[in-house]
Amino acid sequence: MYACLLPARFFLRRRITILAVLAVALCVFTVVVVMTVMNGLVIDFTAKNHAFFSDCIVSTDSLVGFGLYEEFISHLEGADFVASAAPVISAFGLVESESSGKNAALDLMGIDIARHIKTTDFADTLYYRKDAPILAFRPIYDTNLPGCIVGVDLLVERQKSGQYRQLSYLPAWSYLVTCFPLTPKGALAKTGTQLSANSRTFYYSDNSNSGLARIDSTVVYLPFDFLQSLCGMDIAGRRTNAIFIKFKQGSDINLCTDKVSRLWQDFISQKSDFALANLFGTVRVADWKTYRRQTIAPMEKEQTMLILLFALVGLITVFIIFVIFYMIISRKSRDIGILKSLGVSKAGIITVFMRLAFLTGICGAAVGIASALFFLANINRLEGWLFDKFGFQMWNREIYAIGEIPHDTAPLLLAAVAACAVAACLLGALLPTLSAAGRKCVDVLQVNQL
Amino acid sequence: MLKFFLALRYLEKKKIVFLSIVAVALSTALLVTVASLFTAFIEAIESSSSDYLGDIVLEPPAEISYSDELVAKLCSSKEIAAASVVLSTNGLIHLGSGNVKAVSIWGIDLPSRCRVTGMKNSLLMQKNLSSIPEFENDANDSDIIPAFVGIGLLAEPDAKTDEYDLSLVKAFVGDNAIITVGSVQKDSLTDDSFAGLQSRSARIRICDVVFTSVYDIDKRFIFVPVDRLAAVLRGQTQKPADVIHIKCADGFSPQQTVSVVRQIWTDFASGRLDWPNFYIADTEIITSVAKQSQYTAELRKQMGVLLVIFGVISAGVVVLVFCIFYMIVTSKQKDLAIIKSIGGSSVTIASIFLFFGLFIGLIGASVGLVVGFAITHNVNTIERWIGLLFGLKLWSSSVYMFSRIPNHFNWYWAWRFFGAAVLASVLGALAPAITAAKAIPAKILRYE
């Protein structure tokens, strides 16, 4: 009974425990808020990548590409785990505005819009043709013209609030796109003895806001067939750089990626006598996360670094708990002596103080989590108020592709932080508790010790 | 004397005190390191901007004709040491079989550019020459344009070490490549004849490699003689320019010199170019540091937020010192009563603990400063070791711009945190010191 009553009594009676609870709560609050925001940013970024790149990508880094892609797509579509697949061309081009005369060397992405919107969430990124994405390459002002979709950051101004200043009408802007046509050997295609660069005019038909800053500020989307022709990927057999694949709902992405990999290996072994079979050598099959590893990994590393920094800071909480328990135990030496003289064992003393530490940890975690949840629920409102009153924004939305500050807390994170807080308290209280348990009642209760 | 002696004795005898020293040191080291690394990164951005763009950038809304004359006028001013023209465009480069990349092409006047910026130091082959570097023409074919190509266009840094294979890169020197640029058939503000757009291709010869250690520059830029680029774009061999980079003379700050540049520019644009006033006013004349200000301001804000978060948690140090001191005061009641009974005043007693707190703050903050300095100074070595031990590459130039972590230790922030740590320790000792000062010897020293 004493093992339950005494910890509760020490906890309620000793004002110093409030200090311990506050120290733990402060640490928990900070960790929950920072990790929720950081986790939210990472999850949001990875989700946007997934939406943009589908589940699995068969691709090559070579601009020359690889052939027989339609045949392989037919194979894929015959597989029971594949929902859809779409070929994609990635190339570089010189894009010149015919209205302003300005030019920029940009990434070009050739997509077969009908298949692409089935395979990825590209339709959701459009502005003017959101309701009819299949018509995305047909400018509203003249549907017979060849259209191009431009990354939103290339054309549309972003306001400080994070909203894009979209025009209510679709302007009839035209762009001259120039590409180097490459032969299957990678050489520059020549017209006679002249160096050749293919050019064609496209008309602004929509803009795409994928939420991925680097893509939205560098990519112009063109109809697949047109870009294929501009890049010379229709010379001596049609070629592409990538195939995006969407698996059926509920499929295990890793397992299905392995299956695609096996299908690809079987396919290229069957086609070993194909004239451009040498181009298959650079093709790799990867799930979306591996494909985007270089972009996602730095964010995950930063998250890990932050956790390590907080672990270091959490060490101070352990110190505080240690000292506070040392104080409590020094002040309670007589109680300990009396308990021992009444026959309480070492384990009994340890139980009393460890329960007190547990209680401190739980209360600290509860207070910290409650205040963090309250703060997170109002974080965007608070930022809005700070922006209105003082012009302060946590992240300048003109620079960062961030919408709202993430505020959805993961229950797992809360549980982990609470567990760590309790563990820190138990760890901090361990040494003083062991020292208390080791005390002898004859020493403690000597008259000159009282 | 007694105060110092007792404070030092407590410091020596009470082992638990070391816990507070460790906590103070840990917090100081953390804050100093975070602040130093952030400010070093910001300074590196600003300094790379000056190294690359000079001190001041003059960017008119249209191309400038007679740019040589403008440069001569600028250089005749005592505030300006040198000025250099840039003609910029975007294009594609074909480096070999299937190897096409998007590039920014700058036409430059090499001698003046070397005076304005640190270009010579970034040239892999010519940086150690005593003479001014030069674009070496192809002996066999004068139509081939000599060019300096960014190292990132020729190779990728190693995924593990983040270093370039320099022997592989140097092997490209002497190779030919092809560039395609967009040629706008309207070459100045006063030319109203807009003949449309045309893409033009030209052969280039890689005569040196540019390695600035700034990834975005190394990955995207090609430099060619300005007259040759003008010939490709416009079919003319003059030196038109769309940007002028300016270096200030010694003793003149860029901020002061901006107004001088604006005056010279206004006179030139209205007198020689006959530009209308709104075009002249629309010309951006700005220091290269200010050009990065939006980005660096964001970084400073993030640093501030991070320091506040760590600072709040580090405030736990005050609690820690308070608890430890309270404990010492409690256990040293008899000593304090004896001091009082032999004539020690309450102020003396309080001073003992305040000095004690001061010592702890000084020692902890000093240790923290040393640790912070060691971490900041050796951050590249630490990062390399982490990579070797755990296979984790924390720093990559493709993500964080620079090939090395900027590791300049920031003494301004270091001394601020040092002071804050000492103050926090004294603050933590304050309440226990007051409690100690209130001790009544008659009560404490009673036998029962």
Could you tell me if A364 and A330 lie in one domain? yes
What's residue B367's pLDDT? 96
Compute the nearest-CA separation of B4 from chain A (Å).
25
CA distance, residue B329 to nearest chain A CA (Å):
11
CA distances B202 to A92, A244, B137, B146, Å, are 17, 36, 14, 11
Residue A91 to residue B100, Cβ atoms within 8 A: yes
Instruction: Confirm whether A55 is domain-assigned.
Output: no
Count of other CB atoms within 10 angstroms of residue B336: 23
Pairwise CB contact (< 8 Å): B298 & A179: no
Residue A291 lies in a domain: no
Quick one: pLDDT at residue A10?
A: 77
> What CA–CA distances, in Å, run from B108 to A259, B66, B95, B144, B152?
53, 15, 21, 16, 20
**Does residue A340 lie within any of the structural domains?**
yes
Q: Calculate mean pLDDT across residues B13-27.
A: 82
Instruction: State whether A330 and B312 contact (CB < 8 Å).
Output: no
- Which of chain A's residues have a Cβ under 8 Å away from the Cβ of B298? 395-396, 399-400
DSSP code, position B142:
T
Is A310 in the same domain as A273? no
The answer to whether A311 contacts chain B (CB < 8 Å) is no
Å between B77 CA and nearest CA of chain A = 33
Residue A102 identity (one-letter amino acid): K
A51 within domain boundaries: no
Task: Note the pLDDT tens digit of each residue in B160-172.
Answer: 777 888 898 999 9
Single out the residue of A234, A242, A243, A227 nearest to residue A183, CA to CA.
A234
- Kindly determine whether residue B323 and residue A62, on different chains, have CB atoms separated by under 8 Å: no
- Residue B83 is encoded by which pair of tokens? 């000025």
Contacts of B429 (CB under 8 A, 6+ apart): B321, B322, B325, B353, B354, B356, B357, B358, B360
Write out residues 219-278 of A within 8 Å (CB-CB) of B: none
Interface test with B, best of A320, A321, A329 (most B CBs within 10 A): A320
CB atoms B197 and A101 under 8 Å:
yes
> Up-side HSE of residue B447: CA atoms within 13 Å toward CB?
0
Q: Are residues A398 and A429 in the same domain?
A: yes
Measured over the CA atoms of residue A109, residue A114, residue A120 and residue A126, the dihedral's sign is positive
Q: Is the pLDDT of residue B190 over 50?
A: no
Residue-level pLDDT at B40: 92
What confidence tens digit (pLDDT) does each residue in B373-407 have? Answer: 999 999 989 988 888 887 777 777 777 777 788 88
- What is the span of the domain harbouring residue A411? 2-46+296-449
One domain, residues A184 and A332: no
Bridge partners of B80, per DSSP, are: B248
* Tens digits of residue pLDDT in A260-271: 999 999 999 998
Rounded-to-integer distance, Cα A184 and Cα B97, Å: 9
Q: What is the pLDDT of residue A174?
A: 92
Contacts for B10 with CB less than 8 Å, ≥ 6 apart: B17, B328, B332, B352, B356
**A153 and A110 share one domain:** yes
The model's pLDDT over B32-74, given as tens digits with 9 standing for 90+, comes to 999 999 999 999 888 888 888 999 999 998 888 888 899 999 9
Q: Do B313 and A395 touch (CB under 8 A)?
A: no
Give the number of domains in chain A: 2
From chain A, the residues in CB contact with B91 under 8 A are 94, 105
CB-closest option in B97, B310, B326 to A187: B97
Confidence of residue B341 (pLDDT cuts 50, 70, 90): confident
Query: Would the pLDDT of B188 be above 50?
Result: no
Cross-chain CB nearest to A104 (options B90, B100, B301): B90
Q: Which residues of A171-202 are buried (b: 16+ CB within 10 A; e: fewer)?
A: eebbbbbbbbbbbbebebeeeeeebebbbbeb
Neighbour-count burial of B274, counting CB atoms closer than 10 A to its CB (0-12 exposed, 13-18 middle, 19+ buried): exposed
With a CB-CB cutoff of 8 Å, which residues 115-134 of chain A face chain B?
Answer: none
Nearest Cα residue in chain A from B181? A94
Per-residue confidence (pLDDT) for residue A279, from 0 to 100: 87
Mean pLDDT of B222-248: 86
A208 found inside a domain: yes
Residues of B in contact with A106 (CB under 8 A): 102
Q: Which of residues 147-206 of A touch B (CB under 8 A)?
A: 176, 178-180, 182, 185-188, 195-197, 199
The residues spanned by each domain of chain B are 2-45+296-444, 61-282
Domain endpoint, select from A282, A315, A337: A282
pTM: 0.79
Task: Tell me: do A328 and A180 sit in the same domain.
Answer: no
Determine, for residues B316 and A320 on separate chains, whether the beta-carbon distance falls below 8 Å. Answer: yes
Same domain, A226 and A96: yes
List the single residue in A with minimal CA-CA distance to B159. A294
pLDDT the model gives residue B192: 45
Q: Is residue A16 domain-resident?
A: yes
Mutate to test the interface with A, among B30, B31, B100, B232 (most CBs of A within 10 A): B100
One domain, residues A247 and A309 = no
Identify all chain B residues contacting A400, using CB atoms and an 8 Å cutoff. Answer: 298
Interface pTM, i.e. ipTM: 0.72
Question: Are residues A221 and A310 located together in one domain of the fold?
Answer: no
| Nearest residue in A to B93, CA atom | A180
pLDDT value at residue B193: 43
| Number of other CB atoms surrounding residue A277 within 10 Å | 15
Model pLDDT, residue B352: 84
Task: Specify whether A354 is located in the same domain as A269.
Answer: no
With b meaning 16 or more CB within 10 Å and e meaning fewer, what string describes A15-32? ebbebbbbbbbbbbbbbb
Concatenated DSSP letters of B374-394: HHHHTHHHHHHHHHHHH----
Average pLDDT over residues B288-316: 85
Sign of CA dihedral B259, B265, B270, B275: negative
Whether B195 shows a pLDDT value over 60: the answer reads no
| Distance separating alpha carbons of residues B395 and B382, to the nearest angstrom | 11
Residue listed under structure tokens 């926090």: B424
Amino acid identity of A415? Answer: A
Could B197 and A319 be called an inter-chain contact, meaning their C-beta atoms sit closer than 8 Å?
A: no
Q: What pLDDT is attached to residue B447?
A: 64
Output the 3-class SS for chain A: CHHHHHHHHHHHHCCHHHHHHHHHHHHHHHHHHHHHHHHHHHHHHHHHHHHHHCCEEEECCCCCCEECHHHHHHHHHHCCCEEEEEEEEEEEEEEEECCCCCEEEEEEEEECHHHHHHHCCHHHHECCCCCCHHHCCCCCCCCCCCEEEEEHHHHCCECCCCCECCCCCCCCCEEEEEECCECCCCCECEECCEECCEEEEEEEEEEECCCCHHHHCCEEEEEHHHHHHHCCCCCCCCEECEEEEEECCCCCHHHHHHHHHHHHHHHHHHCCCCCCHHHHHHCEEEEHHHHCHHHHHHHHHHHHHHHHHHHHHHHHHHHHHHHHHHHHHHHCHHHHHHHHHCCCCHHHHHHHHHHHHHHHHHHHHHHHHHHHHHHHHCHHHHHHHHHHHHCCCCCCCCCCCCCCCCCCCCHHHHHHHHHHHHHHHHHHHHHHHHHHHCCCHHHHCCHHHC
User: Cβ–Cβ of B30/A324 closer than 8 Å?
Assistant: no
Q: Are A119 and A54 in contact (CB under 8 A)?
A: yes
Q: Is A265 a member of any domain?
A: yes
Residue B191 pLDDT > 60: no
**Does the distance separating the beta carbons of B102 and A105 come in below 8 Å?**
yes
Please give, rounded to a whole number of angstroms, the shortest distance from the CA of B299 to a CA of chain A: 10
CA dist B253 and B55 (Å) reads: 9
Same domain, A119 and A208: yes
CA distance A333 to A349: 11
A160 and A111 in a common domain? yes
Q: Is B103 exposed, middle or buried (0-12, 13-18, 19+ CB in 10 A)?
A: buried
The residue in chain B having the minimum alpha-carbon distance to the alpha carbon of residue A305 is B394
Q: What does the pLDDT read at residue B357? A: 87
Q: Is B268's pLDDT higher than 50?
A: yes
Instruction: Kindly determine whether residue A330 and residue B89, on different chains, have CB atoms separated by under 8 Å.
Output: no
**Of residues A432, A435, A437, A436, the one with CA closest to residue A345:** A437
Query: Which residues of chain A carry a pLDDT beneath 50?
Result: none
Distance from CA of A408 to the nearest CA of B (A): 20
